Structure 1
Amino acid sequence: MSNESDHVYLSLAEGHEDGDARWAFGTGFEDPLHGVSIEPPPGVDLGALAASCLELADDALISAQRLGEWCTRAPELEEELALANIGLDLLGQARLLYSRVGQVDGTGRGEDAYAYFRDPAEFRNVRLAELPNGDFAFSMARLLAFGAWRLAVFERLAGSPDPVLAAVAAKGVKELTYHRQYAAEWTVRLGDGTDESHRRMQRGLDEVAPYLPELFDSCGSPEAHDEILAVLREVTAAAGLILPLTESTPGSAPLGRAGRHTGHLEPLLAQLQGLARAHPEATW
């Protein structure tokens, strides 16, 4: 394997060296909302804020569920722990964002109401998050795309006028930096490895490619789009892989954001929500 993987891994970490981004949400036992006012500032569109937080929370929850499926199934114990930690990061983000939705949408609902008691058509996650895991290479291709996209979005949301969303995004930037780095390292390792690992990594990218336009349409700005694309190109070039790109239709509505999902979301939610729905209001 060439040493380019080290350069890619380090270059992606530039600008995110404050603290150790490798640890899961909550391991430092720091409350990201400590001292943050929950009152939205004057002039903020509460409906738009609630919708944005709900979308980001759904992305995180569904991704966390898929990552959790790797427990006992990852190639090595170390990777099993890493993927579980990444899933916990995303779950922590989802919980904070769902709580914010309930604070600003006028319902006062708690996080469980959004996670466990909505039907598939009510979810607003991007479709990439809900796809089955496939093999490890596909999951790394998906994590690379999802991590690069979410990090670019959160970097910009850290300047949000809403103090809660800004605080959640600032905390998430540190976590997502590691998610992106982890996936980038594995992408290069597999792409620049054996013939078989290269084939599988390329196939994983090919399978992720049709869902990239939805991410680009949801990233919020041309600058974020360019940043995400630059990261994906840098990593795949270092891995000796081809980044397939599918052009999006101008003005097309994001599918998952409009509640239009693949057939994979319903069984995923059935597993995720089953216990809570069987025993509503139960406590342990």
Structure 2
Amino acid sequence: MKEETVYDALSDAHDEHGQWAFGTGIEDVATEITAPVPDGVDAADLAAYCLMLGDDALVYGHRLTEWVSNAPELEEEVALANTALDLVGQARVLLSRAAHLGAGADEDDLAYQRREDQFRNVALAELTDAGDFGHAIARLLLFSSWRLALLQRLVDSRDPVLSAVAAKGVKEVAYHRDYAARWTLRLGDGTDESHRRMQAALEVVWPYVEELFRVTDVEERLMAAGVAADPAATRADVDAVLAEVLPPATLTRPDRPAIGTIGGRGGRHGVHTEQLGHMLAEMQSLARQHPGAQW
């Protein structure tokens, strides 16, 4: 009898198809990427919306990979790496759809060849955790609660790609949110030091939360066409999660003003924190040194 390897065990445990890297399932919706644009929908608007959702996932996924070899325990490294893979998997499909609609040559071009001001992610996705695990958990709780609410609404999108990504993503992001909620409870209601650091982490990320609920002109047009989800409507979902998680974690909902925008323009319009530029310099460096290279 053949002795089972660690890779066999991972495959058996996580995926009946032998694919244990959670974020690599682009094939699940690959046939949908070239689907026709729904009637009455502007292709440029749809491409812009796919970039918004794809950039959120790509940028935050990259940030989460920074915890590999840096998390407090090996188990948490694996959990955060798999969360990142889920998000990168979503980003691949969304950026591929955007490229097909004319936003770029392909998913790699959009990921590695755009300038900072051409990215459309929310600021919460691009922040660095600065090596603080409490900060990582606070940000994941807020981001995943918001993204899950968006994806739940996008399941019924008239665009087949968005609908397919949402249907798969709901299952993934529900796990991300629950993972973050469990750690929030553990750290918030743990030692005095873990409580202090968890509360401090919430205070740091809180000013970036308001941006999650702002609605762009592109989103308004696509919402009217039955394609996009209303980010403003997700506020109640996020508030419900916080109302359930924070009190038993003995944490207080922060009371801090939102980060201001420049002329009313934030991440959705290409106006970012300085942290995104540093991250892109690292993420894009190899592709820019060897343009067109394949491995």
TM-score in terms of structure 1 length? 0.85
Q: Contact 1:154–1:172 at 8 Å: present in 2 too? A: yes
Q: SS where residue 169 of structure 1 aligns?
A: helix
Deviations along 1:189-238, one digit per CA (max 9) or x if unpaired, are 00010000000000010001100101122572543211111112211112
| Offset, 1:247 | 5.5
Instruction: Name the counterpart of 2:211.
Output: 214
* 1:225-240 alignment runs, 5 A limit: 225-240=235-250
- Which residue number in structure 2 is paired with residue 88 of structure 1? 85
Aligned residue pairs, count: 260
Matches within 5 A, 1:1-284: 25-26=22-23, 31-33=27-29, 36=32, 38-104=35-101, 106=102, 109-134=105-130, 135-218=132-215, 220-246=230-256, 253=264, 255-284=266-295
Quick one: structure 1 residues 171 and 238, their matched pair in 2 at CA, closer, same or farther if it must change by over 3 Å? same
Cα distance in structure 2, aligned partners of 1:221 and 1:119: 25
% identity of equivalent residues? 54
- How far the C-alpha of 1:33 sits from its partner, in A, is 1.4
Letter matched to residue 197 of structure 1:
S
Q: Distance in 2 between matches of 1:40 and 1:32?
A: 19
Q: Does structure 1 retain, via aligned residues, the 8 Å contact 2:47–2:103? A: no
- Give the whole-Å Cα distance in 1 for the aligned partners of 2:255 and 2:173: 23
State the Cα distance separating 1:31 from its structure 2 match: 3.6
TM superposition score normalised by structure 2 = 0.82
Provide the aligned C-alpha RMSD in A: 2.2
With CA pairs under 8 Å and 6+ residues apart, which has the higher RCO, 1 or 2?
1
After superposition, what is the alpha-carbon deviation per residue over 1:127-149, rounded to whole angstroms, capped at 9, x for unaligned?
11111113000000000000001
Amino acid at match of 1:38: A
Letter in 1 for 2:194: S
Give unmatched runs, 5+ long, in structure 1.
1-18
Distance in 2 between residues matched to 1:101 and 1:205, nearest whole Å: 33
- Segments of 4+ moved more than 3 angstroms: 34-37, 245-249
In the alignment, structure 2 segments of 5+ residues that lack a partner are 1-15, 216-228
Q: Secondary structure at the match of 2:46?
A: helix
**Aligned partner of residue 246 in structure 2, secondary structure:** helix
Aligned to 1:9: none
Deviation for aligned residue 1:171: 0.7
Cα displacement (A) at 1:157: 1.0
